[in-house]
Amino acid sequence: EAQVTQNPRYLITVTGKKLTVTCSQNMNHEYMSWYRQDPGLGLRQIYYSMNVEVTDKGDVPEGYKVSRKEKRNFPLILESPSPNQTSLYFCASRKTGPVGPQHFGDGTRLSIL
Amino acid sequence: AQKVTQAQTEISVVEKEDVTLDCVYETRDTTYYLFWYKQPPSGELVFLIRRNSFDEQNEISGRYSWNFQKSTSSFNFTITASQVVDSAVYFCALSEEKGAQKLVFGQGTRLTINP
Distance CA A75, CA B64 (A): 36
Written as tens digits, the pLDDT of chain B (115 aa) is 789 999 999 999 999 999 999 999 999 999 999 999 999 999 999 999 999 898 888 888 899 999 999 999 999 999 999 999 999 999 999 998 776 678 899 999 999 999 9
Residue range A13-48, pLDDT digits in tens: 999 999 999 999 999 999 999 999 999 899 999 999
CB–CB of B43 and A107 under 8 A?
yes
What's the pLDDT at B25? Answer: 97
Given the DSSP bridges, would you call strands B59-61 and B64-69 parallel, antiparallel or unpaired? antiparallel
pLDDT tens, residue by residue, A78-113: 999 999 999 999 999 998 766 778 899 999 999 999
pLDDT at A1: 82
Q: What was the pLDDT predicted at A73?
A: 97
Q: What are the two backbone dihedrals, phi and then psi, of residue A20, each rounded to the nearest 5 degrees?
A: -130, 135
- Any CB–CB contact under 8 A between A97 and chain B? no
**Higher-confidence residue: A1 or B65?**
B65
Residues A91 and A104 sit within 8 Å (Cβ to Cβ): yes
Q: In the predicted model, what is the mean pLDDT of chain A?
A: 94
Residue B7 contacts A where some CB pair is shorter than 8 Å: no
Q: Tell if the CB–CB gap between B108 and A42 is shorter than 8 Å.
A: yes
pLDDT at position A98: 65
Q: Does residue A74 contact residue A66 with C-beta atoms inside 8 Å?
A: yes
Residue A48 contacts B where some CB pair is shorter than 8 Å: yes
Q: Write the residue in B9, B44, B101 that is nearest to A104 by C-beta.
A: B44
Say which of A59, A98, A104 has its CB closest to residue B45. Answer: A104
pLDDT attached to residue A99: 73
Out of A99, A106, A107, whose CB is closest to B100?
Answer: A99
pLDDT number for residue B94: 94
Categorise residue B92: left if φ over 0, alpha if ψ from -120 to 50, beta otherwise. beta
